[in-house]
Amino acid sequence: MVLHPVPAFADNYIWVLHNGTSAVVVDPGESEPVMTYLHTHRLQAEAILVTHHHADHTGGVKDLRQATGAKVLGPAGEWADMDCERVWEGSRFELLGLDWQVYDVPGHTADHVAYVAYNREGTTPPWLFCGDTLFSGGCGRLFEGTPDQMLASLDKLATLPDETWVCCTHEYTLSNLRFAAAVDPDNAALHAWQAESEARRSQGRPTLPSRMDREKAVNPFLRVRQPALVEAARRHSPSAKNDSAVFAALREWKNNFR
């Protein structure tokens, strides 16, 4: 199985997972770079998966579906005007000989979902396609959801196996890690990942996919219960007295971090 991030716009990745013949495309904000990749590698798109309704994740769906005949799967609560198969928490299906499961992960948007693909033989780690919920070193802004919802969504994703590949849809890693280093300066794993990520980007390589064990070690939004993160959040917002408030304080801090 081959996983490839197709660059789009300024910092998006459209994920293509394929077996050499058939492909699954995740969050195609535009169709042209995906069609180029499929044509170059002689791939047939079997399905298009969408995590949420934002245009930089859906803008290429219509043209890509018309060009390939691929079926489209998307969140049950969104896209009232789009012809797609609706999925929700616990939905399961098979694509590329893999078992897929859907998780509801609201926060960034009200009806955001994530997809996890499992190899039945267990010979490869799971792939998590998490849209704008979880980034390497960060998480999405709360446009439609609440801190409680986003924290619950991140906690849910953090229960996936440590070896899970985390396939985020934006190359935000360096800016996220600069913030993470400001709030968690004594984290050696964070500084190591920051150095590696800077080296990758200097060579024109993506920092993604990440891994779940790495994110649990470095991502402040997965570490809101760690004493160092609680202390940092309370310095920024003294009223942060519980997990959700700590998360909200960190998210607000990140919103204004430069």
Each residue's pLDDT tens digit, 4-35: 999 999 999 999 999 999 999 999 999 999 99
Give me the amino acid identity at 226: Q
Cα–Cα distance measured from residue 24 to residue 18, given in angstroms and rounded to the nearest whole number: 6
pLDDT digits (tens, 9 = 90+) for 203-229: 999 999 999 999 999 999 999 999 999
1 pLDDT above the threshold of 80: yes
Strand ordering across the sheet containing 210-211: 92-95, 98-104, 113-118, 127-129, 165-167, 210-211
82 pLDDT above the threshold of 70: no
Cα–Cα distance measured from residue 100 to residue 89, given in angstroms and rounded to the nearest whole number: 12
Q: Please state the rounded mean pLDDT for residues 74-103.
A: 88
Q: Is the pTM of this model over 0.85?
A: yes
Among 161, 173, 160, 105, residue whose Cα is nearest residue 133: 105
Q: Where are the domains of the chain?
A: 2-222
What kind of architecture, by CATH, is found in domain 2-222? 4-Layer Sandwich (3.60)
Give the pLDDT of residue 49.
97
Q: What percent of the chain clears pLDDT 90, i.e. is strictly above it?
A: 93
Average pLDDT of the chain?
96
Q: If pLDDT is split at 50, 70 and 90, which confidence band does 66 have?
A: very high
